[in-house]
Amino acid sequence: MMQTENLFPASEFCRYYNIEITFLDLLKDYGLVEVVTVEERNYLDVTELQEVEKIIRLHYDLNINLEGIDVINQLLQKLEETQDELVMLKNKLRKYEN
Amino acid sequence: MEFVDYYKILGIDKSATTEDVRKTYRKLARKYHPDLNPNDKEAHKKFQQINEANEVLSDPAKRKKYDQYGKDWQHADQFEQARNQQSQRGARAGGASYSGGFDEEGFSDFFASMFGEGGRRQTKFRGNDYQAELHLNLKDAFTTHQQTLTVNNKNIRITIPAGVENGQKIKLKGHGGPGVNGGPAGDLFITFIIADDPVFKRDGKNLLSDVKIDLYIAVLGGDVTIDTLHGKLKLKVPPETQNGTTVRLKGKGFPVYKKENEYGDLFVSYTILVPKNLTTKEKELFHELSKLRS
């Protein structure tokens, strides 16, 4: 029997956020989330919950379609990488200051 | 309490239609939404303001009240109280309370005074993200250790992994502001600020230090004991070592973040100290040496 301790039941998640289970299927089809099926029950990995919450907010608060969310996610990832690089370069620069 | 000009916040005219309000709100919300502006306090604040402005101006009843009493909201309070007294006593009007001091997370005091708790649509809102700075010195960041932080009167014990970088952020999920209407709590972001060290400069996993050696050791060779973050270390300085020579001490640098027992290198640069206040005898000997070279 497969362990489900790091998994959160998709149905409970949908009930909490008041969304249709089909919305999660759609996210899965778009490759935006991974839905794990254990003994015919769907689960979300707990590490992915925050990402799904963000997608829900972007979709329902801002009417952004799923293609748009995918683009945003990629750009945010690039932004984060750029910010990390900036921090690293600033730290390198500190060597030559003072 | 300050008057909040919702029209100004959205940048619209008082004659704007409800559709104009919604359109402008959607445009601004896309610009300032916290998910699109991670770790940007100003954007978060702006988003709350436009959210609040939209709550009022997109609802004809609230907008009417705001337009009527906006600048003199205290009068609205008195007016409503008088009207309530005229109607049935004790019948609470749909939960809309105009009592002062109501402070709802994410909405201004002005909004709360004007529309009360019942003024909000029962939308679930995620709590605010909190930002905090944790100041460490280089030696603190050298070892994995635990620290207890107090955030909103709650103690949070966190483990700081060795090798954390200056400016690096970590997220503590659910330790931010409480959610509204059953929404999830926000997150706590901690930025590490690592102070410059007087001895060691850091370049990622590597460290750099400057070691002063006297002229005689530089010329003739010898041993020097240096400080490293791993403890004292004896180094052999070869004869005829030049000023600025750098030696690399493998594995004596900084720990690699989240990689146990993996360290960078320490680069030691020699600065040769020329003796001062020479005696007559020393000067004579240096002259002799100089002649041998010419």
Same domain for B58 and B85, yes or no, is: yes
**pLDDT value for B215:** 96
Between CA B181 and CA B184 the distance in angstroms is 9
- Say how many Å lie between the first and final Cα of chain B, rounded: 85
User: And the tokens for B140?
Assistant: 């603190």
Is A90 in Cβ contact with B29 (below 8 Å)? no
| pLDDT tens readout for residues A59-72 | 988 889 999 999 99
Q: CA of B291, closest CA in chain A: separation in Å? A: 39
Q: What is the tally of structural domains in chain B? A: 3
CATH number for position B268: 2.60.260.20
Statement: the pTM of the whole predicted model exceeds 0.90: no
The radius of gyration of chain B's CA atoms, rounded to the nearest angstrom, is 33
Where is the domain boundary, B119, B143, B163? Answer: B119
Mean pLDDT (whole number) for B12-17: 92
Whether residue B14 contacts residue B2, with contact meaning beta carbons closer than 8 Å, is answered with no
Where is the domain boundary, B194, B209, B237? Answer: B194
Residue of chain B whose alpha carbon sits nearest to that of A69:
B36
- pLDDT over 70, % of chain B: 79
| pLDDT tens readout for residues B35-79 | 888 777 788 889 889 988 998 999 998 898 888 877 654 455 555
Between CA B169 and CA B191 the distance in angstroms is 4
Distance between alpha carbon B248 and the CA centroid of its chain, in Å? 34
Please report which confidence band the pLDDT of residue B268 belongs to, taking 50, 70 and 90 as the band edges. very high
Mean pLDDT of chain A: 86
- Is residue B153 in a domain? yes
- Residue B30 with chain A: CB contacts under 8 Å: 62, 64
Between CA A2 and CA A24 the distance in angstroms is 22
**Exposure of B281 by Cβ count < 10 A (0-12 exposed, 13-18 middle, 19+ buried)?**
exposed
| pLDDT tens readout for residues B177-186 | 777 667 778 8
| pLDDT tens readout for residues B81-129 | 555 554 443 333 332 222 222 233 456 666 666 666 555 545 566 677 7
Same domain for B204 and B280, yes or no, is: yes
Q: Touching check for B38 and chain A: CB below 8 Å?
A: yes
Is A92 in Cβ contact with B203 (below 8 Å)? yes
- Is residue B125 in a domain? no
Residue A1 has pLDDT above 80, yes or no: no
Domains in chain A with CATH codes: 7-97 (1.10.1660.10)
CATH number for position B41: 1.10.287.110
Q: Touching check for B167 and chain A: CB below 8 Å?
A: yes
- For A61, which of B33, B184, B203 is closest by C-beta distance? B33
